[in-house]
Copies of this chain bind each other. A is one copy, B any other.
Amino acid sequence: MTFDLNAYLKERKLLVEEALEHYLPPQKGFYNPIVEAMRYSLFAGGKRLRPILCLAATEIVGGKKETALPVACALEMIHTYSLIHDDLPAMDNDDFRRGKPTNHRVFGEAMAILAGDGLLTEAFYLLTYPDLLAKIPPAQLVWISHLIAQAAGFRGMVSGQVMDLEATGKEIGLEELKAIHDHKTGALIRVAVESGAIIGGGNKTEVEALKEYGTQIGLAFQIVDDVLDIEGNPEDMGKNIGSDEPQQKATYPKLVGLNEAKEMAQTCIKRGIHALKPFGERAMPLKALAQYIIERRG
């Protein structure tokens, strides 16, 4: 059985972007300036990896992808908010993201902070949208929102960014680097898969298997990111490469060498795919997504 990943990604990206457009349309009057800034980054050409993973996890356990769409959109909003804030002058001070000027370069620092705040809050507005109650049992909605808040807040992404900033210029070990990335990028990728599985009605064993898949591909994702910062093509990446070196950031290639880092990423992907075994043929999209993570060029 062949699987056309490119066609799949294209179709799912469109689906997610139509939903984002539906849930955060342009506004008139009072709300226009902030929503314009929020939309600028939300529609700046992301891969939509987290929402696509969420929808695929819903389907693998037998659920309908449409049910998970608002949750998928909320995850993308949280991801986008984190990028806007990470790019700020006080943080990573990045001028470009996905080939476009970063939010604060276009709208100013104050607006960029508020656009991030707005997107983070909007994610929870969406996760608790009354319309969802017709499709998802309220207790499940509460539970998913809780898991997402856990992954996004100080127990996850926020601490990851803090530790990433604190580790810059310091000598850190492999375990510490793994912990930083497990929080900074891993937690949200894992919860994207987990929340999708819960919405789809997955049982405990299925949800656990998919969490393990999420953990492994999340780790691989970050290792590949570090590798691409050395070997990538700036045009594919949409940002400058080699940016880790002058910032004295710890990376996997720096700690274990380039080849060993690539092997580590391969091992993670293998483990992730192994976790999908119980799902048989239905695992095809998530398997292909795992491969995509390691083979991507930007």
B128 to A145, Cβ gap below 8 A?
A: yes
Q: A31 — which chain B residues lie within 8 A by C-beta?
A: 154-155, 159
CA distance A139 to B113 in the complex (A): 32
Chain A stretch 101-152: residues in CB contact (< 8 A) with chain B: 108-111, 113-114, 116-118, 120-122, 124-125, 127-130, 132-133, 137-139, 141-143, 145-146, 149-150, 152
User: Shortest Cβ distance from A168 into chain B, in angstroms?
Assistant: 10
- Stoichiometry (number of copies): 2
A124 to B122, Cβ gap below 8 A?
A: no
Q: A62 — which chain B residues lie within 8 A by C-beta?
A: none
Query: Per a CB cutoff under 8 Å, which of B35, B88, B118 touches A113?
Result: B88
Q: A118 — which chain B residues lie within 8 A by C-beta?
A: 153-154, 158
B125 to A146, Cβ gap below 8 A?
A: yes
**Within 8 Å of chain B (Cβ to Cβ): is A90?**
yes
**Within 8 Å of chain B (Cβ to Cβ): is A33?**
yes
**Within 8 Å of chain B (Cβ to Cβ): is A174?**
no
**Within 8 Å of chain B (Cβ to Cβ): is A15?**
no
Query: Per a CB cutoff under 8 Å, which of B90, B141, B155 touches A142?
Result: B141
Q: A162 — which chain B residues lie within 8 A by C-beta?
A: 33-34, 111, 114
**Within 8 Å of chain B (Cβ to Cβ): is A171?**
no
Can you name the residue of chain B whose Cβ is closest to the Cβ of A111? B162
Q: A129 — which chain B residues lie within 8 A by C-beta?
A: 146
Can you list 11 A-B pairs, Cβ within 8 angstroms, ordered by A?
A27-B154, A31-B159, A33-B163, A35-B154, A90-B109, A91-B113, A118-B158, A121-B149, A124-B145, A128-B149, A141-B142
Can you name the residue of chain B whose Cβ is closest to the Cβ of A109? B90
B145 to A145, Cβ gap below 8 A?
A: yes
CA distance A138 to B27 in the complex (A): 31
Q: CB-CB contacts of A150-188 with B at 8 A, as 1s and 0s?
A: 101111001101110110000000000001000100000
**Within 8 Å of chain B (Cβ to Cβ): is A276?**
no
CA distance A90 to B108 in the complex (A): 9
Query: Per a CB cutoff under 8 Å, which of B35, B116, B143, B163 touches A30?
Result: B163
